[in-house]
Amino acid sequence: MVQRISRRSFFTIAAGFAAQPVLAGPPALSLRPHLRPDGFHKMAVTGAEALIAKAGLSGEVSFIVADAKTGQILETRHADQGLPPASVAKSVTALYALEHLGPDHRFRTRLIATGPVQGGKIQGDLILAGGGDPTLDTDALATMAAGLKNAGVTGITGKFLVWGGSVPYARQIDSSQPEHVGYNPALSGLSLNFNRVHFEWKRAGDSWGVTMDARSERYRPAVRVATMSVVKRDLPVYTYRDRNGVDSWTVASGALGKGGSRWLPVRKPDIYAGQVFRTLARAQGIALPREAQAAKLPGGTALITHESDTLRNILRGMLKYSTNLTAELVGLAATRARLGKAGTLRGSAQEMSRWAAQRLGMTHTRLVDHSGLGDGSRLTSEDMGHALSAAYHNGPLRDLMKNIPLRDARGRVNKAHPIKVRAKTGTLNFVSSLAGYMTAADGTELTFAIFTADQSRRKRLSRAERERPDGGRHWNKSSKKLQQALIERWGTLYGS
């Protein structure tokens, strides 16, 4: 049942928060409800329950909408029901990272020498040491290799080591996902190209030519940490096995057609980055032995340091493109800054949940990761409303969020739509969520969170069905139409 004009306020809880760098403290606001005069056009607005019934959406629908400036809750439906948030969880991760790392934080990737450079050679080991940069790409490694050459290095007398221990290793984010999906890679403090390898195939007579490379904007070096074999079959499309430390893939010939490409996840991220760097160094005339993993970071001198963009800009990209690896790495880095160590991925997510309860009033939030990919995460629309309201006054979240265009009756983007939305979307199979900020035609600003999920239907999916289940696309499309209908209702009803 929909509830309207509640006297509860987001800032009832927020008023007790301690001052922090990003969420610096609650504003002094009146918590008394502000009643708006109802015009005839508002009396004719379709009710939320009628919109939900028209959508014909199976499963649960939960939402909350509030006045952004006062925190007054205007309307709710099952706002205390915990549902999978999908990528809306990344909004919480963004706030968590901003508070503990700061918006100007930069991640560093270093080339460390354990001895001096004499006669062009490092007298000792060279270590490619990751600092948890989620945006490190092949172009950046190429720049580091060129910098090493400019430093007069042509080789080393010791070992070439790779180290990603700044972040705890995880083979994948969520074990329930299909093995081959690129959005579920391994995690490491040394992560390259979002820990994905580019697989491309082209028809060549009766067979196919395949390549596996670490491509970026300027380079595409071949890799050996992942291999692909075309096998004559129709299903399964992909198989995977770890063969002596190599990601060994097969693909069904019946699925290839004339040609195409896709990104596949990397399970050995440190070795992957090391192989690519060794190739790029060789192109600079620097001979390095085969890479090996370092159990701990050796001491030495940083010869070359690559710095990432600022965290603020990294988070803007994360919220726009919904990159899971970025969310996990910045979340783990925030926990490390908070506790001195990150522990496991699940442990870090639990620590973020505790922080969210303390700082944002999200007392019913239970997260199993930082990206929203895992099935076990639960978030209520009421909790999300608390976070959005606090961040509206005390943080940069709104400006980091993506503009969400509304559509016309034919489903086309309507750039002239009078309602403007900045929000984070979240999509899993039979899960769709949207949470953020909207501005009505008259300038009234509202916060909102909409969660929809058919959990029983999702639970029935096998692991192989998770990528493109029957009915999944139609269900999610129906949910998005309902989300827009609710937003348009609120824009008319609560605009002054």
Task: Compute the radius of gyration of the chain from its Cα atoms.
Answer: 25
Q: Where are the domains of the chain?
A: 2-103+311-494, 107-308
Percent of the chain at pLDDT above 90? Answer: 86
Nearest to 156 by CA among 128, 121, 127, 114: 121
pLDDT of 13 reads 37
pLDDT of 22 reads 54
Question: At residue 273, does pLDDT exceed 60?
Answer: yes
pLDDT of 206 reads 86
Question: At residue 10, does pLDDT exceed 80?
Answer: no
Q: What is the pLDDT of residues 159-196, one digit of tens each?
A: 999 999 999 999 999 999 999 999 999 999 999 999 99
| Joined tokens for residue 335 | 């926990």
Nearest to 142 by CA among 281, 304, 289: 281
Across 25-39, average pLDDT: 42
Cα→Cα distances 468→242, 261, 482, Å: 25, 18, 22
Torsion angle in degrees (nearest 10) through CA of 65, 68, 73, 77 = 10
pLDDT of 11 reads 36
Indicate the DSSP class of residue 265. E
Question: At residue 468, does pLDDT exceed 50?
Answer: yes
pLDDT of 23 reads 60
Is 107-308 in CATH node 3.50.80.20?
yes
Question: Helices 311-321 and 324-339: crossing angle, nearest 10°?
Answer: 140
Q: What is the pLDDT of residues 382-440, one digit of tens each?
A: 999 999 999 998 878 999 999 999 999 899 999 999 999 999 999 999 999 999 999 99
CB 305 within 8 A of CB 107: no
What pLDDT band is residue 42 in, cutting at 50, 70 and 90? low
Tell me how far apart the alpha carbons of residues 298 and 114 are, in angstroms, rounded to a whole number: 7
Tell me how far apart the alpha carbons of residues 299 and 256 are, in angstroms, rounded to a whole number: 48
What fold, for 2-103+311-494? Beta-lactamase (3.40.710)
pLDDT of 134 reads 98
Tell me how far apart the alpha carbons of residues 198 and 408 are, in angstroms, rounded to a whole number: 37
CB count in 10 Å sphere of residue 299: 8
What pLDDT band is residue 4 in, cutting at 50, 70 and 90? low
Q: How many CA atoms lie within 13 A of 30 on its CB side?
A: 3
